[in-house]
Amino acid sequence: MTCVQDIFGAKAGTDTSATVLEWGMSELLKNPRVMKKLLEVSDQKDIEVTSTCSLLMPRECREACMIGGHEIPLKTKVITYAWALGRDPKHWYDAEKFILERFDGTYFDFKGNNFEYIPFGEGRRMCPGLLLGLANVELPLVVFLFHIDEELPNGMKPENFDMTKIFGATVAWKNYCKT
Ligand code: HEM
C-alpha cells in the first residue's frame, strides 16, 4: 500500500524528479545538437521530456505463467527491468544515444501503454505522481534552457563530459561531486 511517507519521505516523489532533471540537463549539455534544436522549437510548442529513472519494478505473480520460455510459479516475485526495456535494440535504434526525435511521429507514450517505454511504470501500481513529476521536470528544464550558455565552461568538450552511472533503484551520476 502507498502511504504519505512513500511520496514525500522515501524518495518516490523527490529523487525521481531530481534524477530525471539532472540527467536531462546533462544530456543536453553533452548533446549540443539536441540542445540547439530544443532552443529553436521551445518558442513554438511545449517541451516534454521524460526518461526512465526508476529501473526496477517488482511484482508478485497472481497466477502461474510462462515468460520467455520460463515457467513462473504462483507468487514468484518478478522484477521488470525498465532500463533494459528502454535500451532494447529490438525496439530502439542507437538506443544509447540521446535522440529526442526518435519519438517524432510514433505512437509511443510514457503512460504505461507501451511496454517498450515505461518511465512511470504500468498497470495498477504505476506512478501516481506522473503529472506532478512532469511539472517538476519540465518547468526547471525550460528555465535551464533559457538561461544556459550553449557552451560548456573552461573549454570543456561535450565528448569529455562524464556520464558514468551508478545503478540502483534509480540511476545516479557516479562522479557527481568531482569537477
Ligand atoms: C519524473 C518523475 C517521476 C518518475 C520518472 C517516477 C517513476 C516511478 C516509477 C517507475 C514507479 C514504479 C511504478 C511501477 O511499479 O509500475 C513509481 C512509483 C511511485 N511513484 Fe513515481 N515517479 C516520478 C515522480 C513521482 C512524484 C512527483 C510522486 C509523488 C508526489 C511519485 C510517487 C510515487 C509513488 C507513491 C509510487 C509507488 C506507487 C505504488 O507502489 O502503488 N512519483 N514512480
pLDDT digits (tens, 9 = 90+) for 107-149: 778 888 988 889 899 998 899 999 999 999 989 988 888 888 7
Ligand 1 atom with minimal separation from the 21 CA:
1
Distance from residue 120's CA to the centre of ligand 1 (Å): 6
pLDDT digits (tens, 9 = 90+) for 44-98: 555 555 555 567 888 899 999 998 899 999 999 998 888 888 889 999 999 988 9
Q: Residue 169's pLDDT band (boundaries 50, 70, 90)?
A: confident
pLDDT digits (tens, 9 = 90+) for 2-36: 666 666 654 677 788 888 888 888 888 888 888 88
Task: Tell which one of 127, 136, 137 to mutate to probe ligand 1, the residue whose CB is within 8 A of the most ligand atoms.
Answer: 127
Query: Which residue has the least CA distance to atom 24 on ligand 1?
Result: 133
Residue 68, strand partner residues: none
Query: Which residue has the least CA distance to atom 30 on ligand 1?
Result: 13
Q: How many CA atoms lie within 13 A of 107 on its CB side?
A: 5
Ligand 1 pocket, residues with Cβ under 6 angstroms: 2, 6-7, 12-13, 16-17, 20, 53-54, 57, 119-122, 125-129, 132-133, 136-137
CA distances from 139 to 40, 47, 86, 128, 143 (A): 17, 9, 24, 19, 6
Q: Residue 179's pLDDT band (boundaries 50, 70, 90)?
A: very low
Distance from residue 177's CA to the centre of ligand 1 (Å): 26
Interface predicted TM-score of the whole assembly (ipTM), two decimals: 0.98
Say whether 127 counts as a known binding-site residue.
Answer: yes
Per-residue model confidence (pLDDT) at position 61:
93
Ligand 1 atom with minimal separation from the 57 CA:
15
In one-letter notation, the amino acid at residue 123 is G
Residue 175 has pLDDT above 80, yes or no: no
Per-residue model confidence (pLDDT) at position 90:
92
Per-residue model confidence (pLDDT) at position 74:
96
The more confident residue out of 176 and 13 is 13
